[in-house]
Amino acid sequence: LNNKKEYIKTIGYFLFITLMFAPRFLNASFVSGQCSKDGYSIITINGINTNKVDSEKNMDKLIKTFGSFYNEQLIDYQYLFNATHLAGLKDIADVFIQDFFHTQSDYDLVEMLKDGSNKITTQKVLLVGHSQGNFYANNFYKNVVEQTGGIPKESIRVYSVGTPSNTVAGNPVPLPFEYTTSDTDKVIFSFAALPLTSSVLKPNVHIILKDGDDILGHNFANVYLKYQADKIVYDIQTSLSKLKNNDIQAE
């Protein structure tokens, strides 16, 4: 009887470990150097004052929320790191420059494009931007769509969370499923109120914050995914459903 209990305990422990780390094992299964016709790439881009550890945690939270498969195809999750400079002061300045002057390239974007060329392993790509990361997601899109060696517009889309931008790349008039911004997001509300900024996308959800939440109502994992998981999952499913394989280039 004791041996049977130990056996069951061992099997249970093995299954727990397998389920915990399955997404990482599965993500590593793509063939290096190829962009497969099978599967999807979901690429997250963080906002200001988010270090690599938290960027990875945000990605992991999205994996747990959305899952590792869509349409019976594997999703490869990656993140492109938006580094913080001068304790965030330079990044704040960059936000104004990106918003007001609509700049499409800087050092960080160049690094993201390089990183993306190594990390993207499928032909169908969804960029998920949060906060300032939405400017980079939009500009990443503009720098690769229909460019030589880039990605056809039918194979890449952008999804925005807590966005200070007034657009979502690929659609001049973003649809409700293309972004999620709360009217209680104080970061976006404050940014929109500043005189030197252009308009931002109208908030399309109302998140009621509770004690212990991010007081700014802006956190990706602990506010948006915590309270708007159903909408974000639906939106991402809708975005992925519109992606098509790249029929221009080989894998």
Report the pLDDT value the prediction gives residue 103, as an integer from 0 to 100: 55
Q: Residue 137: CB partners within 8 Å, gap ≥ 6? A: 45, 127, 128, 129, 158, 160, 169
Confidence of residue 193 (pLDDT cuts 50, 70, 90): confident
**pLDDT tens, 94-108?**
544 555 445 555 778
Residue 43 has pLDDT above 90, yes or no: yes
Q: Residue 81: CB partners within 8 Å, gap ≥ 6? A: 46, 52, 55, 112, 115
H-helix segments, 101-185: 107-119, 133-144
Report the pLDDT value the prediction gives residue 141, as an integer from 0 to 100: 96
CA angle at 79 for the pair 37 and 190, rounded to the nearest 5°: 125
- Integer Cα distance of 136 and 129 in angstroms: 8
**pLDDT tens, 11-41?**
555 544 444 444 444 444 444 567 898 999 9
* Tally of CB atoms within 10 A around 206: 10
Q: What is the 3-state secondary structure (H, E, C) of 49-70?
A: CCCHHHHHHHHHHHHHHHCCEE
